[in-house]
Structure 1
Amino acid sequence: MEASMEETLLSRRPEPKEEQSSAVSEELKRQLWLAGPLIFGFLMRNLIQMISLMFLGHLGELQLAGATMATSFAGFTGFSLLNGLASGLETLCGQAFGARQYHLVCVHKQRGMLILTLLSVPLAVVWFYAGSILLLFGLKDEDIAMEAGTYARWMIPALFAYGLLQCQVRYLQMQNIVFPVMLSAAATVLFHLAVCWVLVHGLGLGSKGVAIGIAISYWINVLILAVYVRVSSTCKNTWTGFSIEAFHDPLVFFRVAVPSALMVCSEWWLFETIILLSGLLPNARLETSVLSITLSTADCLYMIPSGLGAAISTRVSNELGTARPRAARLAVRVAMFFAISEGLVMAMILISVRHVWGHVYSDQEEVVTYVAKMVLLIAVSSLLDGIQSILSGVARGCGWQKIGACINLGAFYIVGIPAAYLFAFGLHIGGMGLWMGIICGILVQDLLLLAITLCTDWEKEATKVKDRVLCSALPTDLTT
């Protein structure tokens, strides 16, 4: 007890400036070491969608619009849910690893993979009827709906690979093993480029070939990481073979994963809803095509703050698991500096290339001109999105998913989507109005998450993490 009080007093004692400077420098290095490979890996995986869009864009406007609708539908009903549930492992695996409960890291990962695979079965049925569902919900262009339905059916194998991939990435990331994630993603992109060319141009499969290529590429990425975990010595402490414990007490996973899914899905669904709403605008093919390019560009830019967010989630969860609250607080401050700096730089780059960016996706001058206008809005949203990525990463690292889910639902569905509808349909601004609504939602999200983070008692958070890890480990201890 006396030792605990002494540690608390020492943790609150002001540090000399030299020690503070050294701690900041060390934290900068740690986050760069973590975030660099993660950013590159996320960019590589995002390139799979970008490459797919480029192939589709040169096949024709109908193919691009149909695949865009299918991708949005797939994201809305499948990818977002699996990604959100897997993000619960950032809390469970990260805090268990920080507390040196290595066996729990393995169990949490296997339990997540099992649950996400089972969940993919009913989701695949929904994807099979994607075209009919889109028509049922008011998509006016029947040709786009049918094209989207065909594309979604051929992407069903990708659904099962995606959940496994997200669990593998979180498992490695929370142990600070990031270079294999980067290298496997890079190899997958090169493979995807070759496969798409063969399937689309070599075999003449058109948009079906692109969908098949996505599925094959995801499975290749899963296999690469699975082999690495099995044979690498870096995972020898946390990979103890298949455990029957993965089938026990799924509530341990759901208690964190469901709020995580709500937190991630509420944001993801905002963007997918915007794409679906674009199908209701006049000249739906143009609006949908331009918004797909806009979303693809925003997704690509988001990979940088997303990597920073993943890094801060790892750092916060590990430090709180190790009972070092001051180190967790310092990590948050360093990450915010990175996010703001990166956002300003990328905004300036975007503005400078806005008149040529559209040519990457389309040869039609109407599309290129529209994209140049949208890029100005992307510059604003990317800066705000970078800040929220860091704050959301902090929330995942601390286990605040319930709070984060409530904030996201309020910001996006009470503010964001109504504002988007008002701008697009009430004020007749079209696709640009939809994106303005996104900006309004993200701004509210940033302000609320920032208020929560500034008011955090980090010593109290470290105590909560200790109790959570002990509760997770209790059944294992009792059986032994």
Structure 2
Amino acid sequence: MEERIPLLSQRVPGDGTAGVGGGEEEDGGGDRWWSGVAREAGKVGSMMLPLAAMSVAQSAVQVASNMMVGHLPGVLPLSASAIATSLASVSGFSLLVGMASGLETLSGQAYGAKQYDKQNLDPNRFSGSCKATCSPPTMEAFRGVVLFLRLALPSALMLCFEWWSFEILILLSGLLPNPELESSVLSICLTTTSLMYNIPYGLGGAASTRVANELGAGNPEGARSVVHLVMSIAGTEAVLVTGALLASQRILGYAYSSDKEVVTYFTSMVPLVCISVAADSLQGVLSDLR
């Protein structure tokens, strides 16, 4: 019995199906196209939701900490917490996350090509539900280090520069005339932006995996269809999230701080936060489609 491949379309050679809505010309109707879109959207969603949920859970620690510190008397505790968090992100977190993103390309293509033994050469893991990809430790894992570094190092540099550009703003805000207030407000803005980025982060990871699956299976048309679908989802998400931020801009600041001056300054910054969130929704997905 043929093993079911959950991340790949169940295609039969010569049946005319390819990616989203494949085979539309042969059937001559739109029902097959919509069913293909819905099927691909379900696959993307099944991978995006766990990634986004995991990312939100990780970010929740920092967000909750800032919220608790922000309600302490004065604005100094919030500004001090913001600078400490920025130093931790710049000094280590960004590099580790960036290098790990190199696995999205290698593992996705290995799965798409049904070369399950190679998928375990990069990440050594064990799961009872992934028996096909579990293999004992082997020296062959070291033969692919150069290929992995060729993908991981550029990814790490790209992500580091992106994170550092945000964190440097917080550090430089300490040089402004009112550093306590400016650092606190900028920290709230960047924390909100980072929290909203978790959605396109999960969507981009799902898109990267699906594109790698299709390319590994030798189906470039399917990969192109996945990109079109994912970018449509990203655009819709950008409109919904920015609309929600604009609608709640007068009350959102009170979640981070009880200081009225901080809340007032943050309210005036919300339109700029919305522009950043909208750009992240598109750029965050495109950056994973490499």
Q: Deviations over 1:82-107 (max 9, x none)?
A: 11111001111111111122222211
Q: Are residue 328 (structure 1) and residue 240 (structure 2) matched?
A: no
> Structure 1 length normalisation: TM-score?
0.53
Name the counterpart of 1:103: 117
User: Offset of 1:360 from its aligned partner?
Assistant: 0.8
Structure 2 counterparts to residues 414-429 of structure 1, below 5 A: none
Out of 37, 58, 71, the residue aligned to residue 45 of structure 1 is: 58
Q: What residue in structure 2 maps to residue 84 of structure 1?
A: 98
**Structure 2 partner of 1:30:** 43
| Structure 2 counterparts to residues 63-82 of structure 1, below 5 A | 63-82=77-96
Cα distance change on mapping 1:249 and 1:37 into 2, 3 Å? closer
Give the CA deviation at 1:63.
3.0
* Residues 1:393 and 2:288 aligned together: yes
Please state how far the C-alpha of 1:248 moved relative to its aligned partner.
4.5
Residue 20, structure 1, aligned to residue 33, structure 2:
yes
Matched letter for residue 75 of structure 1: S
Residue aligning to 1:382: 277
Instruction: Give CA-to-partner distance per residue, 1:448-475, whole Å, 9 cap, x none.
Output: xxxxxxxxxxxxxxxxxxxxxxxxxxxx
Cα 1:279–1:10, aligned 2, differ >3 Å: closer, same or farther? same
Separation (CA, whole Å) in 2 of partners of 1:328 and 1:248: 28
Deviations 1:219-274 (A, max 9, x none): xxxxxxxxxx54x4212222224334444552122111011112212211211121
Report the residue type matching 2:229 in the other structure. Answer: V
Preserved contact between residue 48 and residue 202 of structure 2 (Cα < 8 Å): yes
Cα deviation digits, residues 62-121 of structure 1 (max 9, x gap): 3322221121122122111111111001111111111122222211114xxxxxxxxxxx
Give the Cα separation in 2 of the matches to 1:59 and 1:322: 55
Structure 2 counterpart SS, 1:107: coil
Q: Secondary structure at the match of 1:394?
A: coil
Residue 10 of structure 1 deviates from its aligned partner by 9.2
Tell me the equivalent position of 2:193: 298
- CA distance in 2 between counterparts of 1:377 and 1:353 reads 14
**Deviation at residue 14 of structure 1 after TM alignment:** 7.1
Matches within 5 A, 1:310-459: 310-395=205-290
- Structure 2 CA distance for partners of 1:107 and 1:370, relative to 1, 3 Å: same
Distance 1:293 1:243 in 2: 47
Task: Tell me how far 1:57 sits from its aligned partner.
Answer: 2.1
Residue type at the aligned position of 1:322: A
Q: Residue type of the partner of 1:252?
A: L
Q: 1:266, 1:99 → 2: CA distance?
A: 33
Q: 1:55 aligns with which of 27, 46, 68?
A: 68
Contact 2:170 2:186 in 1 (8 A): yes
Cα-to-partner distance string for 1:287-319 (whole Å, 9 max, x where unaligned): 111111111111111111111111101110111
Task: Name the structure where helix makes up a greater proportion of residues.
Answer: 1
- What is the one-letter code of the residue matched to 1:330? S
Describe the shift of the 1:304–1:13 C-alpha distance in structure 2 as closer, same or farther (beyond 3 A): closer
The RMSD of aligned alpha carbons is 2.2
The residue matched to 1:369 in structure 2 has which SS?
helix
2:168 to 273, 284, 292: 273
Q: Which residue is equivalent to 2:10? A: none
Consecutive unaligned residues of structure 1, counting only runs of 5 or more, are 1-5, 111-228, 396-480
Bigger relative contact order, structure 1 or 2 (CA pairs below 8 A, ≥6 apart): 2
How far does the alpha carbon of each residue in 1:411-464 deviate from its partner, in whole angstroms, 9 at most, with x for none? Answer: xxxxxxxxxxxxxxxxxxxxxxxxxxxxxxxxxxxxxxxxxxxxxxxxxxxxxx
Q: In 2, Cα distance between the equivalents of 1:37 and 1:250?
A: 28
Are the structure 2 counterparts of residues 330 and 62 from structure 1 closer, same or farther at C-alpha, using a change threshold of 3 Å? Answer: same
Question: Hey, what's the Cα distance between the residues in 2 that align with 1:367 and 1:17?
Answer: 57
Q: How many residues align?
A: 270
Q: Residue by residue, what CA displacement relative to the aligned partner does 1:42-66 show, whole Å, maximum 9, x if unpaired?
A: 2122111111212322345333222
Which residue of the partner structure matches residue 236 of structure 1?
131
Is contact 2:238-2:277 (8 Å) kept?
yes
Identity rate, percent: 43
Mapped partners of 2:149, 2:90: distance in 1: 20
Contact preservation (8 Å) 2:24, 2:33: no
**Structure 2 residue identity aligned to 1:54:** M
CA distance in 2, matches of 1:17, 1:269: 50
